[in-house]
A = this chain, B = another copy of it.
Amino acid sequence: MNQSIKGIVLSLAGLVLFFGSLQAQTDTAAVLKKISDDVFTNGKSYINLRFLCKQVGQRLSGSHGAAKAVVETARMLREAGADTVYLQECMVPHWVRGAKEVATLELGKGKTYNLKVAALGNSVGTPGSGIKAQVIEVKSFDELNKLGEAGVKGKIVFYNYPMNPTYINAFRAYGEAGVYRGRGPSMAAKYGAIGVITRTLSPNLDDYPHTGSTVYNDSFPKLPAVAVSTNDAEYLSKALASGPKEVYIKTNCRSLPDTVSYNVVGEIRGSEFPNEVLTVGGHLDSWDLAEGAHDDGAGCVQSIEVIRTFKSAGIRPKRTIRAVMFMNEENGLRGGTKYAEIAVAEKEKKFIFALESDAGGFTPRGFGYTMNAQQGQKFASWKNLFYPYGASDFVPGGGGADIGPLYRQLQTPLAGLNPDSQRYMALHHATNDVFEEVSERELKLGAIVMTQLMWLVSEYGL
């Protein structure tokens, strides 16, 4: 073959490859559009979320609401058309708030001010008579360490560390300020404090105290701990500036024995590789204060919607798709842990991908991903397909708390839906995390890009 003919042959081969790949691209885009149209036209995620919020309501692990949520989401998965729906039993912590907590600031001359507070999740209650002591405000652990036992012993420590308002990504500020909720009580206990107040993790100045887990260090006494609303954190700080003050705190929370609960799983069997399992999920439990609309009712109904859309649009996945409602993300992660434990035991199956939506039902911006370099390259190559849906920001890092154990146990590649984060922290773990705060179109758009991504992985693997 002379060079010029070889050149022509190569060019023709190139053209065939080029048009072949162009056709594949067109076909792929057409499937993504079909998914989008189906969700916007027939989608049930918003209706399901309304039910979960208004007919089920709060669903903290171990509660009646959580039990009801298991039954109802199993029904939703059946109605969505899952081939099989089943439960995975797991034991979960059973923390209860008890009667509404009280924190009263003594202003002197018989005057008092009731601070708006919520006991932190997992925290111990005060004695029946409550606790009363001088409040010491610190801005950081550094300040606490400097005060030491001499400054802290017998007192109530008030961590007043605001979320950094200048970070664009709200989760960054949450991560930074969140350590005071998580480790603050035990750090204060180390120096002999008798109680803790933490500033609510919200960027807004308002009246909603936000709960959330605290994690005790077993080396120290477990202190009662409450979050105070941001407005009242400011109020308390101002009051303390004019001189020492005492606060009376009474919380009624306690941990009951672990109880049985469930992950809820709905599956569509893969047509070509049924033993290759793709997991998509959110967590079914919420805090007790609210309906858990964004955290994480949204992720649950979006995952159910993935199943519904495959069925409704008549798209048969090559690989098995599992929608999972994980139990107990908020205060134990027992559901996610159990799911991975069962996965490890299912030797004949390969858990090749997992996606979680647990950052709210807001407009999706893209996905974060945790996987090896080769998988990551393939994953990121899809980003432009998501540009028409406004979700092409693919960034390394991310996944979700509930699917983390899958990665740790089986190196399953992970992704997390990254919605716009601006509104999330103002309602996270608080009474204002309600259905009315969810936009139907934003929720559906999240479900769309999740379904699209699940289809891509089911079709092409990773």
Listed in ascending order, the chain A residues whose CB lies under 8 Å from chain B are: 36-37, 40-41, 165-166, 168, 170, 203-204, 363, 365, 388-390, 393, 420, 422-423, 426, 439-442, 445
Contacts and interface: CB of A to CB of B under 8 A. Distances in A.
Nearest to A36: B166
A396 B390 CA distance: 16
A363 B363 CA distance: 9
A445 B168 contact: yes
A187 B182 CA distance: 65
Contact of A40 (B165, B439, B442): B165
A389 B168 CA distance: 6
A31 B165 CA distance: 17
A328 to B, nearest CB: 30
A109 to B, nearest CB: 33
Contact of A442 (B37, B365, B422, B445): B422
Contacts of A36: 166, 168
Nearest to A164: B40
A166 B37 contact: yes
10 contacts: A40-B166, A41-B165, A41-B166, A168-B390, A203-B440, A203-B441, A363-B363, A390-B393, A390-B420, A423-B441
A166 B42 CA distance: 11
Residue from A36, A166, A393, A426 with most neighbouring chain B CB atoms (10 Å): A166
Contact of A170 (B37, B423, B441): B441
A445 B165 CA distance: 11
A284 to B, nearest CB: 25
A445 B441 CA distance: 21
A213 to B, nearest CB: 24
Contacts of A420: 363, 390, 420
Contacts of A168: 36, 388-390, 445
Nearest to A443: B422
A442 B422 CA distance: 6
A92 B41 CA distance: 41
A156 to B, nearest CB: 29
A377 to B, nearest CB: 21
A393 to B, nearest CB: 8
A201 B442 CA distance: 18
